[in-house]
Amino acid sequence: MGYTRVSTAAQDAQLQLDALAGVGVEPRDVFCDVTSGSKSAAQRPGMRRLLDYATEGDTVVVWRVDRLGRSLIDVLNTVNLLRESGIELRSVQDGIDPATTSGRLMLNMLATLAEYERELITERVNAGIAAARATGTVFGRPPVDPGMIAQKLDIVNDARAKGRSAEDAAKLVGWSRATFYRHQHNTETQAAATPHERSAH
């Protein structure tokens, strides 16, 4: 089966189709995308259909390997995506062919490059997080202000005492009913624990 991609409807995929036909790919077995290369393989409708259709042991033929993506990392990720599904890749222009020793070598090199690129990205992300923490950046949820929680609970409980439902009362302070119950439960739990803590001292 084959795959073609052009960036705009104004571009012609005929050159790619001719190349695929020249190596025996039937037109009915070609999956096409007219989409920007900025979209990853998994986001392209033609590639999604191809992946749904292809089975382990199949070979996808492209005119050039750059048809799999605009950036190197996208090309590498697409190669890995295919290979992880047991699908081989053949590129007419690039000499990538799983049936030849040199073609298999090139495929393995692409897979290795993809793994290397992913590790580099992970290292860069981790380094960025470490640098941010070193300068005082705090990750995760912002700290909860107990005083603010107590004020909101007073408003909600007052509204409930005047006949409002828990859901309606919670909305007054921007909470869901579940959030209100959670804060109410935490406050009651803390209040119950306080006497024991004092007696322990």
The CATH number linked to 127 is 3.40.50.1390
- 11 shares a domain with 104: yes
Distance CA 120, CA 116 (A): 6
Check pLDDT > 90 for residue 194: no
Expressed as residue numbers, the domain containing 150 is 146-200
Residue 175 within a domain: yes
pLDDT at 26: 92
Residue count of the chain, please give it: 201
- 93 shares a domain with 16: yes
Check pLDDT > 60 for residue 111: yes
Check pLDDT > 60 for residue 197: no
**Residue 172 to residues 46, 99, 109, 155, 157, Cα–Cα distance (Å):** 48, 68, 60, 8, 11
pLDDT at 37: 56
- 152 shares a domain with 124: no
* 64 contacts 94 by C-beta, under 8 angstroms: yes
> How many helices (H) does the chain have, and how many strands (E)?
7, 4
* Residue 14: how many other CB atoms lie within 10 Å: 10
- 114 shares a domain with 63: yes
Residue 176 within a domain: yes
Q: Is 124 helix (H, G, I), strand (E, B) or coil?
A: helix
Check pLDDT > 70 for residue 199: no
Check pLDDT > 50 for residue 27: yes
Check pLDDT > 70 for residue 133: yes
Phi, psi of 105, rounded to the nearest 5 degrees = -60, -45
Check pLDDT > 70 for residue 138: no
Q: State pLDDT tens for residues 28-85.
A: 999 998 876 567 777 888 888 988 888 899 999 999 888 887 777 778 888 888 888 8
Positions marked catalytic: 7
Q: How far is CA 17 from the centre of its chain?
A: 31
| pTM exceeds 0.85 | no
Tell which of 73, 102, 131 closes a domain: 131
Tell which of 89, 106, 131 closes a domain: 131
Residue 124 within a domain: yes
pLDDT at 100: 85
* Of 188 and 36, the one with more pLDDT: 188
- 118 shares a domain with 165: no
* Residue 9: how many other CB atoms lie within 10 Å: 8
* Of 143 and 6, the one with more pLDDT: 6
Count of structural domains within the chain: 2
Check pLDDT > 50 for residue 198: no
Give the contacts of 161 (CB within 8 A, at least 6 positions apart).
Answer: none
- 25, 27, 95, 90: CA torsion to nearest 10: -70
Phi, psi of 134, rounded to the nearest 5 degrees = -65, -25
pLDDT at 68: 84
Q: What average pLDDT does this structure show over 95-113?
A: 82
- 195 shares a domain with 160: yes
- 127 shares a domain with 44: yes
* Of 16 and 196, the one with more pLDDT: 16
What's the token pair of residue 166?
């828990």
